[in-house]
Amino acid sequence: MALEAMYFGFKAFIAKPDERLSELSMARVHHRILYFVGRNPECSVSELLQKLGATKQYINQPLRRLIESGYVETCADDTDRRIKRLSLSARGSTLENELSSAQRDQFARIFREATPEAENGWREVMALLIKHPGE
């Protein structure tokens, strides 16, 4: 039952962002990149990979598309010109906010309906899933 709840809960959670991403011919990886670059302005590509737990091959094409489409901006690091720093452009910030605000609003509505104990329990379960991936 927990597996089904996770599956259907995740499906409901990503429905609105997926719909918008589809209109832009983008995928969830684009949203993930926008989200983590937005939360970590001027992060390096290596730092982004570490945050995402992903390989360079996995984000190479989506990141390049976001840069070429003007959603993500790059600049060279001040001390090491080989390091590329990433930030959201105004356009990227607008899209990231549009995608993520739907999810933030969804959580806010659900947590208002749930008891504080239920929310705390959910947060504890999510923290344990993060702490013990793939075990």
**Domain count within the chain:** 1
Confidence band for 2, pLDDT divided at 50, 70 and 90? confident
pLDDT above 80 (res 135): no
Residue 115, SS3? coil
pLDDT above 80 (res 106): yes
Q: In what order do the strands lie in the sheet with 43-44?
A: 43-44, 84-88, 72-76
Distance, in Å, from the CA atom of 62 to the CA atom of 41, rounded to the nearest integer, reads 18
pLDDT above 80 (res 124): yes
Q: What was the pLDDT predicted at 78?
A: 87
Instruction: Report the CATH number that the domain containing residue 38 is assigned in CATH.
Output: 1.10.10.10
Q: What average pLDDT is seen over the chain?
A: 94
Q: What was the pLDDT predicted at 130?
A: 87
Domain region containing 23? 2-131
0.75 exceeded by pTM: yes
